[in-house]
């Protein structure tokens, strides 16, 4: 990620926070805008967030800065980003950085922990690789119906972990999977993925995840999420690219 300016923070490092602490900081801390990420399509602000002795950098995307889309309801992208975090947390794969929905200097929106990446990683080589972390992300994207998995939305860390960000155009009730991670198309899902999907199905039906997604998405979108999980379990296969819509995201 790059900012319009190069703001500096007299803050604690953004890594090393456990998720519960990070979520509390993001939810209750004081936001201060330091710059804007000019490469982002929607208003994306680089901020500091402080609470007591805790401080970190974060990304804040106010709803009022979302550009209208023809295929997603206006003003819903921030909630979809939070919903993606909830699914990520339920999988245990920690794909999406800690993310909350909160009020901020420009009104309500999503707030996500800033992630410092490994600058030595070649993203093009990473996209073409078959790393287990990317395979998990491919399953995750199929579940949330991610319509915009670009290479630039992968955040490789120094410790080898890979985060995924920018999930505002996810969870459509219509199939819209567009991704650069088609390495496993039509291949059998791993045993780990099948176990995680079975857990997700139960959590969507009668657990916290289903209740939380109903707060963030429409009922039709939540039901479609359950159907995608069920389809993956029934086939036991990574999905194939559709013949009815573009398989790759727009550049």
pLDDT tens figures, 182-210 = 999 999 999 999 999 999 999 999 999 99
Given a cut of 70, whether residue 6 has pLDDT beyond it is no
Amino acid 251: pLDDT: 75
Does 15 score more than 60 pLDDT? no
Q: Indicate the SS3 state at residue 199.
A: helix
Q: Specify the pLDDT at position 114.
A: 97
User: pLDDT class for 41, splitting at 50, 70, 90?
Assistant: confident
Residue with tokens 């899902």, as numbered in its chain: 189
Across the range 128-137, mean pLDDT stands at 97
Residue 219 and residue 225 in contact, taking contact as beta carbons nearer than 8 Å: no
Q: Which residues partner with 110 through β-bridges?
A: 61, 101
**What is the rounded distance in angstroms from the CA atom of residue 76 to the CA atom of residue 82?**
10
pLDDT score recorded for residue 4: 36
Query: Does the CA dihedral 181-228-156-154 come out positive or negative?
Result: positive
Q: What is the 3-state secondary structure (H, E, C) of 51-94?
A: ECCEEEEEEEEEHHHCCCCCCCCCCCHHHHHHHHHHHHHHHCCC
Q: pLDDT > 70: what percent of the chain? A: 94
pLDDT for 7: 36
Q: Sorting pLDDT into bands at 50, 70 and 90, what band is 250?
A: confident
Average pLDDT score, the chain: 93
Range with the poorest average pLDDT among 93-97, 119-123, 174-178, 240-244: 240-244
């Amino acid at each position: 990620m790059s900012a319009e300016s190069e703001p500096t923070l007299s803050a604690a490092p953004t890594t090393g926070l456990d998720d519960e602490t990070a979520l509390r900081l993001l939810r209750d801390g004081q936001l201060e805008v330091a710059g804007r990420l000019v490469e982002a399509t929607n208003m994306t602000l680089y901020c500091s967030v402080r609470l007591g002795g805790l401080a970190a950098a974060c990304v804040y995307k106010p709803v009022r800065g979302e550009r209208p889309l023809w295929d997603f309801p206006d003003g819903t992208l921030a909630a979809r980003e939070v919903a993606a975090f909830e699914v990520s947390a339920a999988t245990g794969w920690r794909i999406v950085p800690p993310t909350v929905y909160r009020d901020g200097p420009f009104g309500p929106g999503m707030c996500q922990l800033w992630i410092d990446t490994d600058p030595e990683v070649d993203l093009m080589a990473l996209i073409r690789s078959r790393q287990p972390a990317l395979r998990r992300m491919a399953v995750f994207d199929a579940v949330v119906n991610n319509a915009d998995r670009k290479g630039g939305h992968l955040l490789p860390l120094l410790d080898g972990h890979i985060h995924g960000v920018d999930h505002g155009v996810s969870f459509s009730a219509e199939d819209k999977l567009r991704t650069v991670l088609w390495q496993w198309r039509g291949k059998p899902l791993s045993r780990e993925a099948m176990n995680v999907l079975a857990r997700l199905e139960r959590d969507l039906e009668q657990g916290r995840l289903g209740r939380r997604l109903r707060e963030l998405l429409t009922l039709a979108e939540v039901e479609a999420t359950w159907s995608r999980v069920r389809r993956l379990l029934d086939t036991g296969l990574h999905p194939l690219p559709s013949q009815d819509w573009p398989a790759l995201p727009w550049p």
